[in-house]
Structure 1
Amino acid sequence: MCRIRSFFFATLLLLIACTTSSMSQNKPTQQSSVALPAFDKEGHRGARGLLPENTVPAMLKALDSGVTTLEMDAHISQDGQVLLSHDPFINPEHELLPSGAEIPAADAKKYVLYQMPYSQIRTFDVGSKYYSKFPEQQLMKAYKPLLSEVIDSAQAYIKEKGLAQVFYNIETKSKPSGDGIYHPAPEEFIDKLVAVIDEKGIRPYVIIQSFDPRTLKVLHQKHPDIKTALLVENLKGLEKNLEQLGFTPTIYSPYFKLVTPSLIKATHEQGMKLVPWTVNDLKEMQRLKQLGVDGIISDYPNLFSQL
């Protein structure tokens, strides 16, 4: 009887070990601190210029293009799921109803993500409509994925192709006027986002970015080890933007036309990296790199190979 019990106990331990190994095989190796790339090549919304934005195919295309970071936007559904989307609603400019029909002009902002369960959001087609702003974008039937699915897909692809581990630059799409309408309040937003990040074991490889200092403040207070990026499109200047934020982020990320040699110098003097958005012209990419920026966010990650 003792031998039988020992056999079953040993078998149980083996099964647990195998299950744990299977669950973690696509997670990057855990480290307390991982340095950012010397020059960070970020695919904006995956590869927005080439494939439907913020979708799994766009992220895999970016990986094929040799990016060091996958940039993406996060929203929260009615049932608390973290999903990828730039807009807080189904955007009729480049997205379609589940039936494949156009969204009527009167319903332009009707389908708010925070007011719908994810099971409903997933039924909308976000890749089959021609998008005039990005004529090279390949048309395909696509949906807004969960952040967890994107991470799983990217990590599996990295392993399959033998690629280097990339970073995940995740933007919290929030602003004060949208609390409770388009998204939860900052603390709840951050809690849900970090829960997915930790479930997938990618914390050392994550950057949380935002135009909304509130979410970055919450993140810095609760999880100071997670890298942060302050997105900037205003003319207030470096000092005022940092004063409003209340701490020094890992990255200062301005609109690319705001970049000057003096801004780069000041950013570096305060120990931050400077990564501008969104640069889609090769000559402009080359100019900015020569100026000394620490990376570039682009809709066309295929251009990085020419830098």
Structure 2
Amino acid sequence: MTRHPYLSPAPPRVLAHRGLVTADDAAHGAVENSFAAVAAAHAAGVAYVESDCHLTADGVVILFHDDDLSRVTGDPRKIADVRLPELEDLMAGRGGLVTLPQALEAFPDVRFNLDVKAEAAAEPVGRLVAPHAERVLVTSFSDDRRRAALAAARTAGAALRPATSPGSSTVARLVAARRLGLRATVRRLLTDLDALQIPERQGPVRIVTRGLVDAAHAAGVEVHVWTVNDPEDMQRLLDLGVDGLVTDRADVALAVVNER
């Protein structure tokens, strides 16, 4: 299986979860998924930034995790109900709003891991990333949204499809198939994937195991674990063979990786 250019060079990889917000940045008002957070990750030497995509009331894709503004700004409105200029005003003192086109243009050597959070955002995300498919991975908890974004990228003329990681239903079927020893089903579920981006545990259920890592690698699929912030956990997971760490502490993870 040919490795997608998104996954070059060889692992391990550090993926800055919603960018990087240091304690000093936070003290100056910066928040996750802001322009400042992406810039801080880039300045720290991170090659990969994980972020999230929503669509504004006037049809602009922005990097933002929640579907409303309450946690980040104290405003209870939905992202889908607010126009871009007002969102820019709300984020002005919080590190600055960043749209997906701005992120792709301002950080041409950053590889973006994009989680499509809203159904309405899927087609615009695919269209926007089409010219940048070699440095974008598209994912979503919903496989339907993920596939819609990939289809839109193809329709928009992408020279290759963006890299991709499965939704939660596919991950659940994959874990179940592994436990039942259904090797053919495991191989089928891993087909056309580039990475398996998963939590170490889901409640009491362990997701990341040596067997799952080995099965993914046998299919040419990388394993990226989220969200890993403790250095000892980082070391333990890398020792287990995982290929990427999705982390709020990209600065710490880079130090861990560079020491290995």
With structure 2 as the length reference, what TM-score do the two structures score?
A: 0.77
Question: Is 1:34 aligned to residue 12 of structure 2?
Answer: no
Task: Give the aligned length.
Answer: 227
- Answer with 1 or 2: which has the greater Rg: 1
Aligned counterparts of 1:152 and 1:35: Cα–Cα separation in 2: 17
Q: Which amino acid aligns with 1:46?
A: G
Moved more, 240-249 or 74-83: 240-249
Task: Give the superposed CA RMSD.
Answer: 2.8
Distance 1:231-1:193 versus aligned 2 partners, 3 A rule = same
Q: Structure 1 residues 235, 172: CA separation in 2 closer, same or farther (over 3 Å shift)?
A: closer
Superposed CA offset, 1:128-184 (max 9, x none)? xxxxxxxxxxxx5333321112222223xxxxxxxxx3311111013xxxxxxxx52
Relative to structure 1, the CA distance from residue 306 to residue 233 in structure 2 (aligned partners, 3 Å threshold; closer, same or farther) is farther
2:224 corresponds to which of 269, 275, 278? 275
Aligned to 1:225: 161
AA matched with 1:218: A
Report percent identity of matched pairs.
23
Q: How does 1:112-261 map to 2 (within 5 A)?
A: 112-125=78-91, 141-155=94-108, 165-174=109-118, 183-184=119-120, 189-198=121-130, 201-221=131-151, 223=154, 225-232=161-168, 236-238=172-174, 247-257=191-201, 258-261=207-210
Could you tell me how far apart the structure 1 residues matched to 2:42 and 2:129 are?
19
Q: Answer yes or no: is the 8 Å Cα contact 1:233–1:254 preserved in 2.
A: no
Structure 2 gaps, min length 5: 26-30, 155-159, 178-184, 202-206
Q: Which has the higher helix share?
A: 2
Deviation at 1:268, TM superposition (A): 1.2
Q: Which residue of 1 aligns with 2:241?
A: 292
The corresponding residue for 1:66 is 45
Q: From the two aligned structures, give the one with the greater strand fraction.
A: 2
Structure 1: 5+ residue stretches without partners:
1-32, 97-102, 104-109, 127-139, 156-164, 175-182
Aligned to 2:36: 57
- TM-score between both structures, scaled by the size of structure 1: 0.66
Q: Residues 63-87 of structure 1: CA distance to partner in whole angstroms, max 9, x if unpaired?
A: 1222121111110011110001100
